[in-house]
Structure 1
Amino acid sequence: MYRFLFLALFILIGNLTLAQVSSKYSISFDNAVHHEAQIKATFTNFKSDVVEFRMSRSSPGRYALHEFAKNVYNVVVTDGNGKVLQASRPNPYAWQVKGHNGTINVSYTLFANHGDGTYAQIDETHAHLNVPATFMFVPELSQKEFEVTFELRSDLQWKVATQLKHVKDQTYYARDLQYFMDSPVEISNYKKRSFKVDGQDINFVLHDDLASDQDFDQYFDDVKAIVLQQKAVFGELPKFDYNEYTFLACYMPNVVGDGMEHRNSTILTTTRSLAKGGIEQNIGTVSHEFFHCWNVERIRPQSLEPFDFERANMSGELWFAEGFTNYFDNLTLVRSGVWNKEQFVNTVMGTFNYVWPAPGRQFFNPIEMSYQAPFVDAAKSVDETNRENTFISYYSYGEMLGLGLDLSLRSNNLNLDDYMKLVWKNYGSVGKFYTVEDLHKTLNHYAGETFGDTFFNKYIYKSGMPDFVALFKNVGFRLNLNEDQVDFGAHVRHNKLMDNPKIGSTAYISGLQKGDKILQVGSFTLNDMITLDMVLKKYQVNDVVTVVFERFDKIETRDVILKGGKSYSLQQIPESDVNEEMRKNQALWLDPK
Structure 2
Amino acid sequence: MRAMFIFLIFAATGFSQTNTYNISFENSTHHEAVIKATFPEIKSDTFEVRMSRTSPGRYALHEFSKNVYGVKAYNSKGKELEIFREDPYSWKITGHDGTVKIKYILFGNRADGTYTQIDETHAHLNIPATFMYSEELKARPVEVSFDTSQHPEWKIATQLKHLENNTFFAPDLYYFMDSPTEISDYDMREFSVNGKNIRFVLHHPGTEQEFQEYFEKVKKIVLQEKEVFEELPNYDFGEYTFLACYMPNVSGDGMEHRNSTVLTDVTSLSEGGMTENLPTVSHEFFHSWNVERIRPDSLEPFDFTEANMSGALWFAEGFTSYYTNLILTRAGLLTPEAYVESLNGTFNYVWNSPATEFFNPIEMSYQAPFVDAATSVDPVNRENTFISYYSYGSVLGLALDLKLRKKGLNLDDFMKLTWQKFGKPEVQYTISDLEATLVTYAGKDFATDFFNNYIYNSKMPDYENLFATVGLQLERASKNAFFGTSVKTDSNGAVIYGNIQRNTPAYEAGLDKGDRIIEVNGEDVWEQNSFDTVLEKYKPGEKLRLLIERHGQTFRKVVTLTEDPTYTISIDPEAGKKEIMARQKWLSGK
TM-score range, shorter chain: over 0.9
| Equivalent in the alignment of 2:187 | 191
- Answer yes or no: is 1:333 the counterpart of 2:324: no
The question of whether the paired residues in 1 share the 8 Å contact of 2:69 and 2:106 is answered with yes
Q: CA deviation at 1:533?
A: 1.2
Q: May I ask how many residue pairs the two structures share in their alignment?
A: 578
After TM superposition, the score normalised by the length of structure 2 is 0.96
> Is the 1:75–1:109 contact (alpha carbons within 8 Å) kept by the matching residues of 2?
yes
Q: Secondary structure at the match of 1:70?
A: helix
Report deviation, 1:20.
4.5
1:112 aligns with 2:111: no
Aligned to 2:19: 23
Q: 2:488·2:530 contact (CA, 8 Å) conserved in 1?
A: no
Cα deviation 1:86-128 (Å, max 9, x = unaligned):
1111110001111111100000000000110000000000000
Given candidates 243, 249, 255, the residue that maps to 1:248 is 243
1:579 to 572, 576, 580: 576
Determine which of 438, 447, 450 is the counterpart of 2:445: 450
Cα deviation per residue 1:215-268 (whole Å; 9 max; x = unaligned)? 111111110000000000000000111111000000000100000000000000
> Are the counterparts in 1 of residues 283 and 324 from structure 2 also a CA contact under 8 Å?
yes
SS at match of 2:481: coil
| Cα separation, 2, equivalents of 1:122 and 1:571 | 46
The list of structure 1 runs, each at least 4 consecutive aligned residues, that deviate by more than 6 angstroms after superposition, is 13-16
Q: CA deviation at 1:18?
A: 4.0
- Structure 1 residue matching 2:526: 3-state secondary structure: coil
Segment drifting more, 101-110 vs 476-485 = 476-485
Q: Is structure 2 residue 70 aligned with structure 1 residue 74?
A: yes
Instruction: Output the CA distance in 1 between the equivalents of 2:14 and 2:486.
Output: 59
1:402 counterpart = 2:401: no
Aligned: 1:47 with 2:43: yes
| Secondary structure of 1:583's aligned partner | helix
Offset of 1:556 from its aligned partner? 1.8
Per-residue deviation, 1:583? 1.9
Partner of 1:472: 467
**SS of 2:480 mapped into structure 1:** coil
Contact 1:20/1:144, CA 8 A, preserved across alignment: no
Q: Are 1:236 and 2:235 matched, yes or no?
A: no
Aligned to 1:7: none
| RMSD, aligned α-carbons | 1.5
Q: Which residue of structure 1 aligns with residue 505 of structure 2?
A: 506
Shift in Å, 1:345: 1.1
Alpha-carbon distance in structure 1 between the residues aligned to 2:477 and 2:264: 38
Q: What residue in structure 1 maps to residue 136 of structure 2?
A: 140
The residue aligned with 1:556 is 555
Partner residue, 1:178: 174
After TM superposition, give the deviation of residue 340 of structure 1 in Å: 0.4
Is 1:164 aligned to residue 160 of structure 2? yes
CA shift digits 1:5-31 (9 cap, x unpaired) = xxxxxxxx9998343543110000000
2:121 to 118, 125, 135: 125
The unaligned stretches of length 5 or more in structure 1 are 1-12
Query: In structure 2, which of residues 288, 292, 296 is the aligned counterpart of residue 293 of structure 1?
Result: 288
User: d(CA) in 1 for partners of 2:527 and 2:286?
Assistant: 45
| SS state at 1:84 partner | coil
- Per-residue deviation, 1:190: 0.2
What is the CA distance between 1:552 and its match in structure 2?
1.0
Secondary structure in structure 1 of the residue aligned to 2:562: coil
User: Would you say 1:315 and 2:310 are equivalent positions?
Assistant: yes
* Deviation of the 1:426 alpha carbon: 0.2
What is the match of residue 533 of structure 2?
Answer: 534
Given that residues 142 and 176 in structure 2 are in contact (C-alpha distance below 8 angstroms), is that contact kept between their aligned partners in structure 1?
A: yes
**Which string of whole-angstrom CA distances, capped at 9 and with x for unpartnered residues, describes residues 171-192 of structure 1?**
0000011100000000000000
Asked whether 1:544 is paired with 2:540, we answer no
Q: CA deviation at 1:279?
A: 0.3
Q: Say whether 1:87 aligns with 2:80.
A: no
Q: Please tell me whether residue 149 in structure 1 is matched to residue 145 in structure 2.
A: yes
Distance 1:424 1:432 in 2: 10
Task: Say if 2:42 and 2:98, in contact at 8 Å, map to a contact too.
Answer: yes
Matched residue, 1:215: 210
Q: Quick check: 1:124–1:156 contact (8 Å CA) kept in 2? A: no
Percent identity, please. Answer: 54
SS in 2 for 1:500: coil
Q: Secondary structure, in 3 states, of the residue corresponding to 1:364?
A: coil
Task: For 2:130, give the aligned amino acid.
Answer: T
- Of 198, 201, 207 in structure 2, the residue corresponding to residue 205 of structure 1 is 201
2:585 to 577, 582, 588: 588
Compute the displacement of 1:483 (Å).
7.2
Letter in 2 for 1:132: P
Question: Offset of 1:310 from its aligned partner?
Answer: 0.3
Cα separation, 2, equivalents of 1:410 and 1:528: 54
- C-alpha displacement of 1:275: 1.4
